[in-house]
Amino acid sequence: MSTSLPSFAPSAAYDDAPGPNLVQPETRRLDGVVREAYVPPFAPSVTHGSLGDLPFDNAAAAPDAVVLSRRAEDGRWVDVTAAQFAEQVQAVAKGLIAEGMMPGDRIAIMARTVYEWTLLDFAAWAAGLVTVPVYPTSSVFQTRWILQDSGAVALVTETSAQAAALGPELDRVPDLRHMWVMDKGHVERLGELGAQQPDGEVGVRRGMLVPDTLATLIYTSGTTGRPKGCALTHGNFFAEVDNAVELLYPIFKTRTSEEASVLLFLPMSHVFGRMVAVACIRARVRLGHAPSLKAEELLPDLAAFRPTCLLTIPYMLEKVFNRARAKAETGGRVSSFDRAASVAERYGEALEAKAGGTGSGPGAALKTARAFYDPLVYRRIRNAMGGRVKYAICGGSPLGRRLAAFYAGAGIEIYEGYGLTETTGAATVTPPLKPRLGTVGWPLPGTRIRIAADGEILIAGDQVLRGYWDPAAGGVVPAAADGWLPTGDIGALDDEGYLTITGRKKELLITAGGKSVAPAPLENWLRSHPLISQCMVLGDRRPYVSALITLDMDGVTHWRRMNGKHSVPAELLVDDHELKAILQRAIDEANKLVSRPESIRRFTILPTDFTEMDGHLTPSMKLRREAVMRDFAAEVEGLYTSDTDRG
């Protein structure tokens, strides 16, 4: 922001929470509007060591503490103590060293959310390596690009099929010397190989690492569709997780006889999942991994693991709610469910008002109504999540006030957050005991949020990445020379420093699942089809990606002539099954460019083309997206109002 801001004015603090004092953000105003908010750090800066030390520090401090649980072959959850995990990390780290991996080498990991992911992460760090996540749904092109750009010398895949798919591309990845496959037992083999090596080298490697050492390269999609690597250091993770652990004390600091536990089912390839995994190891909170988001596979994991906290996204919470309502409707109890939902929403709003000092909390009648519906509705929803869930960390996209209030009223406190890969996860988060529904909370302790003159959100803090990976420039290129990271998001701060996200500055889409999608590659591919004039890819804050397509009438005229459809009026072609089948094949081809979460799941054919005259195109033939969304709002909603379970 070019205009200077007045100095910070500290707001009032409160200390009635059972955890650390939660100090409201210090704010700066410009022309009467809050333009900047800052919360001082809750945790001291880490000045030495690395993430690779955490398993060994835990083993020394509490060797018998259960830090993880993993699924055995018979389906049982088997606890892993701090001492056992450190031993496994040590063995795999020695195996990597024995295989010739050198400090600073990049090792890529392509797998779902499984125990081996966390084991390899910490073993690689203990060996002085840099981990490079690859989404298991990535296309061969995307995977090859990440391997090439990062200069990875090793790749670990979860399945043999993933490794085989990359076979034809391996000659284009000259730096890759090792490929290990989890389902072939190669991780265990690394541990066995490491058992034959002396321990000293791992200690030497760990001793070489400092907080400023590069820990991971996480690739995100840019506006051109070509992924770029975010260079995150060990210090970035420490700044993020240490302050998150102190702030979110109900999750990470057990205050009752019931142990704290987190079942992680979001992708480990995403910074959100990695950040929470590191935080759990750091705080010695029992961590489990669930590899599938399919209800028939995830629900048994939740029931058996019984977490107290879930890391989730709005789409998952929406699905839980919608499925519960659908089940009630099937059983003829939808009216009762809707009344229960209304009670929960009002109860959650009353809790918010009391926490914010604007109300006295739920009244007697509301408490009675909630107690009545708890065994009928709310407890069943909690049981679907394992029965012990009290908290959920929700990110990826805004949850929405109504759903946040419902879950609060149903007995699950939602900590909603906002952040980027570039910020090592959360930059803002809902503070305990001070929720403000519909916002993404306050700056994470140690973080500054600024609203630029054009409304763009800028972020500064020790968790902000060192820079972007650029091998042509010799390594890491700074991301924010002035210390402020531009996010591309538009937002606003209220008088107390709560942040609300109001839109996207750039065209990059973020689905409800938190997946970044660059529309240009798909749109450009589809526009080259002879029957397609224009295409606009949708999906921002939606459960999946879809598209609006307009027809090229010259191409359609030829197609009609070749297929005996002269008599079919042009306005009826939008419903022609043969035409839709051809366009579906075109979309299938375009989808090969991207991963499954980025692929187009549904499309609709518009009866008219986009034109400059109608305001849908600029003079240079670029889409005016807001105008299209406005004028075809009904068609857009039609893509998401039926068959919405396409995650």
Domains parsed from the chain with CATH numbers: 51-209+261-307 (3.40.50.12780), 516-638 (3.30.300.30)
User: What pLDDT is stored for residue 520 in this prediction?
Assistant: 72
Strand order in the sheet with 413-420: 77-81, 66-71, 286-289, 261-264, 309-312, 391-394, 413-420, 425-429, 442-443
User: What pLDDT is stored for residue 622 in this prediction?
Assistant: 65
Whether 539 and 600 have beta carbons less than 8 Å apart is answered as no
User: What pLDDT is stored for residue 166 in this prediction?
Assistant: 92
What is the arithmetic mean of pLDDT over 141-147?
A: 91
- Residues 578-619 pLDDT 10s: 889 999 999 999 998 888 888 999 999 998 898 867 888 854
User: What pLDDT is stored for residue 139 in this prediction?
Assistant: 82
Range with the poorest average pLDDT among 71-80, 254-263, 409-418: 254-263
Q: What is the mean pLDDT of the chain?
A: 88
User: What pLDDT is stored for residue 332 in this prediction?
Assistant: 85
pTM comes to: 0.79
User: What pLDDT is stored for residue 255 in this prediction?
Assistant: 56
pLDDT surpasses 70 at 179: yes
pLDDT surpasses 80 at 111: yes
pLDDT surpasses 60 at 366: yes
What is the arithmetic mean of pLDDT over 102-130?
A: 98
Whether 510 and 517 have beta carbons less than 8 Å apart is answered as yes
Strand order in the sheet with 485-493: 26-30, 33-39, 447-451, 456-461, 485-493, 499-504
Closest by alpha carbon to 514, among 358, 362, 389, 395? Answer: 395
Per-residue confidence at 35, pLDDT binned at 50, 70, 90?
very high
pLDDT surpasses 60 at 21: no
User: What pLDDT is stored for residue 532 in this prediction?
Assistant: 86
Per-residue confidence at 503, pLDDT binned at 50, 70, 90?
low
User: What pLDDT is stored for residue 411 in this prediction?
Assistant: 95
What is the arithmetic mean of pLDDT over 109-130?
A: 98
Whether 217 and 231 have beta carbons less than 8 Å apart is answered as yes
How is residue 46 written in tokens?
Answer: 């880490």
User: What pLDDT is stored for residue 128 in this prediction?
Assistant: 98
Per-residue confidence at 89, pLDDT binned at 50, 70, 90?
very high
pLDDT surpasses 50 at 86: yes
